[in-house]
A and B are shown apart, each in its own frame.
Chain A
Amino acid sequence: MAAQSMQENDTEGVPPVISVRNLRMGYGTRVLLDNVSFEVRRGEIMVILGGSGSGKSSLMKTIIGLYTPMAGDILIGGRSIVSARGEERAQLQRQLGVMYQSGALFGSLNVLENVRFPLDQFSDLTLDEKNLAARMLLQQVEMGYAESLMPGELSGGMLKRAGIARAMALGCSILTLDEPSAGLDPITAANLDRTILSLRENLGFTFVVVTHELQSIFAIADRAVMLDPISRSIIAQGNPAHLRDHSDDPRVQQFFNRRPDASR
């Protein structure tokens, strides 16, 4: 039997689905990140971490093609999203499901219509079929009970879970999540971590997760890249527990051990 969207958790030797090569990005003439290179392998949960202002969310938005880098390249499935234009770029972007920090649900649509929105735009399935697919996605993120609610009626955790369901709707294999656990209570955050792990397990998604929630990082991440606002680059890369236990870099130790700055 052929591999049917199966996933192995051990991602050693698995080809990369995202390659970031010598990336330099910023705003105007201000360079925010420089010489950033890393790869995300198929089926892996890769966490981008770092303190506030280190450029995590900007890096994610550059990977998904919202920002144009100053230099370097980003390959999605071997094709450059930086040099792609028009329909080719749109096709690459559709391979990436994105959950924004606030959920970014459309305020005029209820939860079910939000999740169904990509199917309405890009498939000619019947309404019943689209509704079934959207409801199953909502069940995957434990939001089946909230399908008729409007985004304004949802809590932070519900917004994020609905945002994940919508991100999955187009059948993309890579999900990028911006701060999924930020501002959530520990139980909701743990439930969200469980949802991420179960989606990887069951549907074989690759995840790029931007976060600085330590518990969440240790719960879900296979590997992590750590950004630093001073050096404006990656200062550590690897399994988070391994980095915590074996890294000699004081900045990494300070982050993982939640130590305040010595000068304050």
Chain B
Amino acid sequence: MTSTDESGADEVASIALRGRITVHTATPIWKSALETLARNPQRRVIVDASALEYIDSVGIALLFDLVRRERPPGAQVEIRDLAPNLAALVRGYDPKDFVQPGARRPHVGLVEQIGRAAASQLAYLQHLGSFLAQCGTGLRRSLFRGGSMRWGEVLEVATEAGANAVPIVLLVGFLMGVIIAFEIGLVAQKFGAVIFVVNGVGVAMLRELGPLMTAIVFAGRTGAAFAAQLGTQKVNEEVNAISTFGLDPIDFLVLPRLAAAMLVVPLLAVLADVVGLFGGALVMLGFGVGFLQFSVQLLSAVTAGDFLLGIVKAAVFGATIAAVGCERGLSTGAGAISVGLSTTSTVVTSIVLIVVIDGIFTVLTS
């Protein structure tokens, strides 16, 4: 048992420590000891450690906290009968080393915060632009100027990012077709214009939703994986090892992923288009439009241009996601936490950029 108490003597208060003071028992003892000091601001305080059996690092901190406090002359705290090695340990700490710095972070106003955030985003976009330019140069060199694109790696990445993503893309694409057809169909039915739902589903799937939903799935699934892979390689200094072999990390790590993404996202978008239209056709059966009628109306409503626009968009989305994922991965700082941040940042940045690029495409092609 451990206790603190005050003697009735005029000049001296005492704190008696008994038993064990450990991380598990220190809290009430510490509190009681500090209360004793507070109640006796003008009296000398003796800490009697003669009955102390065991003390751990928290107990040492308690003793040091008692003796380090500034008190008037004649009212100091004195520890008695502490084992010599522990007494030396407590004496070895300098109270000046534990003074808390008073300086706080300067206040930053709202306008300044917005300005700083905008500047940092601008700097990031600049950095991303320069990274994309490097990738473009590397891609040209690899494909046309006798460079060696690592096609084995491209196929490997394409299999993982493309073939393995087929089921989820099929599911999302099918559901998008169903939802669009159903929502538009309910409204069109009121105006007797059910047949034009086919036009809406066709244009929406081929020009917008097919590539867009595929890209969002790709960003969450593969963009994040790119960032995590390259980020871990950066943390493990594998990227440095590649550089010291005289290899360009962009050629070696980024370009295969970029090429694979530009290859598979359009293919996945085609699948999403097909199953989306099929989902729409299934819903239209419920509105009295058969498969044949659906296909005739669809062919009159959409053109090869709509389909190709969607495919081009999907390729651009794929390149954007791969570039963002690889750039975030290669910009990873030290430690596991940085890898996590890079992954999150990849998904958020990719989706924002996809939507912005989609908007630009829409404006340019309308």
Q: Which residues of A contact B (CB under 8 A)?
A: 1-7, 107-108, 118-119, 122-125, 129, 132-133, 135-137, 139-140, 144, 150-153, 168-171, 173, 201-203
**Would you call A119 and B97 a contact (CB within 8 A)?**
no
- Please determine whether B97 and A123 come into contact, CB atoms closer than 8 angstroms: no
- Contact pick for B61, options A7, A122, A132, CB 8 Å: A132
Smallest Cβ-Cβ distance to A171: which chain B residue? B56
Interface flags for B49-74 (1: CB within 8 Å of A; 0: not) read 11111111111111011000000000
Chain B: residues with Cβ within 8 Å of the partner, total of: 38
Given A1-B83, A2-B51, A123-B23, does the pair A169, B335 have CB atoms closer than 8 Å?
no
Given A1-B50, A4-B52, A202-B85, is A125 in contact with B26 using a C-beta cutoff of 8 Å?
yes
B86-94, B134-142, B342-350 - interface stretch: B86-94
Contact B30 A152 (CB under 8 A): no
Q: Does B22 contact A (CB under 8 A)?
A: yes
Give B60's nearest chain A residue, CB to CB: A136
Select B85's contact among A6, A107, A168, beta carbons within 8 Å: A6
Q: How far is the CB of A196 from chain B (nearest CB, A)?
A: 15
Once the chains are docked, how many angstroms separate the CA of A168 from the CA of B61? 13
Known contacts A3-B83, A132-B65, A139-B97; A153/B55 CB under 8 A: no
CB <8 Å contact, A1 and B81: yes
| Beta-carbon contact of B57 and A203 below 8 Å | yes
Q: Contacts A4-B86, A122-B24, A153-B334: A129 and B65 contacting too (C-beta < 8 A)?
A: yes
Interface residues of B, Cβ cutoff 8 Å to A: 22-24, 26-27, 30, 49-62, 64-65, 81-83, 85-86, 88-89, 93, 97-98, 333-338
A4 near B335 with CB under 8 A, answer no
- The residues of B that contact A122 with a CB separation of less than 8 Å are 23-24
Whether A133 and B61, one on each chain, are in contact in the complex, defined by CB atoms closer than 8 angstroms, is yes
Chain A hits for B97, CB < 8 A:
135, 139, 144
Contacts of A123 in B (CB 8 A): 23-24, 26-27, 58
A76 to B338, CA, bound (A): 38
Q: Could you list 15 A-B pairs, sorted by A, with CB under 8 Å?
A: A3-B83, A4-B55, A5-B56, A6-B86, A7-B85, A107-B335, A108-B337, A122-B23, A123-B24, A125-B58, A133-B57, A139-B97, A153-B334, A171-B24, A202-B86
Inter-chain contact B57/A168, CB cutoff 8 Å: yes
Which residues of B have CB within 8 Å of A152? 333-335, 337-338
Please give, as numbers and ranges, the residues of chain B lying within 8 Å of A119 by CB-CB distance. Answer: 23, 58
Closest 6 CB pairs of A and B: A152-B334, A171-B56, A107-B335, A133-B61, A4-B83, A152-B335
**Contact call A139/B93, Cβ cutoff below 8 A:** yes
Measured between beta carbons, the chain B residues less than 8 angstroms from A133 are 23, 57-58, 61
Q: Report whether B89 and A202 are in contact in the complex, using a CB–CB cutoff of 8 Å.
A: yes
What residues of chain B lie closer than 8 Å to A1, measured between beta carbons? 49-50, 81, 83
Question: B56's closest neighbor in chain A, by CB?
Answer: A171
Q: Whole-angstrom distance from the CB of B64 to the nearest CB of chain A?
A: 6
Shortest C-beta distance, B33 to chain A (Å), equals: 11
In the bound complex, CA of A2 to CA of B54 (Å): 8
Inter-subunit contact A124/B27 (CB<8 Å): yes
| Neighbouring A residues of B334 by C-beta, 8 Å | 150-153
Please state if B51 and A136 are interface contacts (CB–CB under 8 Å): no
Residues of the A chain whose Cβ atoms lie less than 8 Å from the Cβ of B337: 107-108, 152
The chain A residue with its CB closest to the CB of B101 is A148
CB-defined contacts of A144 to chain B, threshold 8 Å: 97
CA of A140 to CA of B88, assembled, Å = 13
Determine the distance from Cα of A6 to Cα of B82 in the docked complex, in whole angstroms: 11
Interface contact A151-B27, CB-CB below 8 Å: no
CB < 8 Å: which of A6, A139, A171, A203 contacts B23? A171
